[in-house]
């Protein structure tokens, strides 16, 4: 059966979970290990084209950015019948864009998302790389159901009823995905990301503070998750934000959180916090633990 392509030989396709100009993403189960994966199939780029560079770029980035709980895990990539195929960790909670399209994040969820993505970005930057396409559509969510017996008055015989849904709570983990724009800090080959999250200095091809472009995009993503969407793609509104103007928000955020996000989208990249400063900021550590 070697003439059956690897994709169909090794995987059972469950459902289409994404489609775009980049190709299609399927939820698949591996026939051997029984695990579910997200597999993106894109038309194989012409050899030597810019598209081939980007496609290989993504695989190189995944190979370098091994295992980190806030970066979507890569398993394998191969080419067959004129397709490029990449097999990644499947995140069962949809994308952050899906989640906030239904309703904005609460301040507590916003803090959690910022901490997780800042942690993933700190790791990427510590490897000498930058993401360059941070946005809610590229942040995926894994939901784990955990038993929490603290507020459970178990029957006097001490046996909890595991079928009783009230003992479970969902724990969300946010993960950075889509490494198609990742490039190295030392020798940047910048492919601009989504213009809604693009910082002004990158638009002007100033690549002297690339890590701060990721912080800028995360800051705008946070505003969008707080309900400031949809973000402008160009025009006066686009420029107003790049001059440091916060778009109107439907919810009141704490002064600390608002100041943090304002600093993240500061017009001057050196005024924006690094990911390490983000992780230590009091707005993200309310009990002042760190």
Active site residues: 133
Q: Which is nearer to ligand 809, 174 or 216 (CB)?
A: 174
For residue 174, count CB atoms less than 10 angstroms from its CB and return exposed for 0-12, middle for 13-18, buried for 19 or more: buried
State phi, psi for 128 to the nearest 5 degrees. 75, 20
- Which spans of this chain sit near ligand 809 (rule: CB under 6 A)? 17-18, 25, 38, 40, 72, 86, 88-91, 93-95, 140, 177-178
Which residues in 90-121 are b (16+ Cβ under 10 Å) and which e? bbebebbbebbeeebbebebbbbbbbbbbbbb
Nearest CA to 249 out of 135, 106, 112 is that of: 106
Asked, as a colleague might, if the bond just before 69 is cis with ω within 30 of 0, I would say no
Residue 266 Cβ vs ligand 809, minimum distance, rounded to whole Å: 29
- Nearest approach in angstroms of CB 69 to ligand 809 is 14
125: DSSP letter: H
User: What are the backbone dihedrals phi and psi of residue 165, each rounded to the nearest 5 degrees, phi first?
Assistant: -60, -15
Q: Which is nearer to ligand 809, 90 or 216 (CB)?
A: 90
Q: Dihedral sign, CA of 186, 54, 60, 114?
A: positive
CB of 35 to ligand 809, least distance (A): 13
Extract the tokens encoding 60. 């190189």
Q: Report the distance separating Cα 173 and Cα 143, nearest Å.
A: 6
Q: Of 76 and 184, which CB lies nearer to ligand 809 in the complex structure?
A: 76
CB of 252 to ligand 809, least distance (A): 30
**Which of 195, 225, 199 is closest to 212 using CA atoms?**
199
Taking the complex as a whole, the smallest distance from the CB of residue 34 to ligand 809 amounts, in Å, to 17
Taking CB atoms, the residue at the shortest distance from ligand 809 is 18
Nearer to ligand 809, 24 or 184 (CB): 24
The residues facing 176 across adjacent strands are: 71, 139
Name the minimum Å distance from CB 25 to ligand 809. 4
Comparing CB distances to ligand 809, the nearer of 28 and 220 is 28
Exposed e or buried b per residue across 135-145, where buried means at least 16 C-beta atoms within 10 angstroms of its C-beta:
bbbbbbbbeee
Residue 200 phi/psi, 5-degree rounding, is -65, -40
Comparing CB distances to ligand 809, the nearer of 88 and 199 is 88
The SS3 assignment for 112 reads helix
């Amino acid at each position: 059966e070697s003439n059956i392509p690897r994709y169909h030989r090794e995987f059972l396709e469950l459902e289409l979970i994404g489609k775009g100009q980049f190709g299609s993403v399927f939820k698949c189960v591996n026939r051997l290990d029984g695990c579910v994966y997200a597999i993106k199939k894109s038309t194989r780029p012409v050899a030597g084209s810019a598209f081939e560079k980007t496609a290989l770029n993504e695989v190189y980035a995944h190979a370098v950015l091994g295992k980190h709980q806030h970066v979507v895990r890569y398993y394998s990539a191969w080419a067959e019948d004129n397709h490029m195929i990449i097999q990644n960790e499947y995140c069962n909670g949809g994308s952050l864009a899906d989640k906030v399209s239904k309703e904005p994040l609460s301040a507590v969820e916003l803090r959690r998302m910022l901490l997780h993505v800042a942690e993933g970005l700190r790791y990427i930057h510590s490897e000498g790389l930058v993401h360059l396409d941070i946005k809610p559509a590229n942040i995926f969510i894994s939901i784990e159901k955990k038993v929490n017996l603290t507020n459970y008055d178990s029957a006097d015989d001490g046996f909890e009823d595991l079928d009783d849904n009230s003992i479970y709570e969902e724990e969300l983990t946010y993960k950075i995905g889509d490494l198609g724009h990742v490039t190295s800090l030392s020798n940047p080959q910048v492919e601009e990301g989504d213009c809604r999250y693009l910082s002004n200095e990158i638009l002007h091809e100033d690549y002297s503070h690339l890590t701060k472009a990721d912080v800028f995009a995360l800051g705008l993503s946070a505003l969008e998750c707080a309900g400031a969407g949809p973000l402008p793609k160009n025009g006066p509104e686009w420029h107003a934000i790049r001059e440091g103007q916060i778009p109107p928000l439907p919810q009141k955020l704490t002064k600390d959180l608002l100041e943090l996000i304002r600093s993240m989208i500061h017009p001057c990249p050196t005024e924006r916090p690094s990911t390490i400063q983000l992780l230590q900021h009091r707005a993200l550590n309310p009990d002042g633990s760190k």
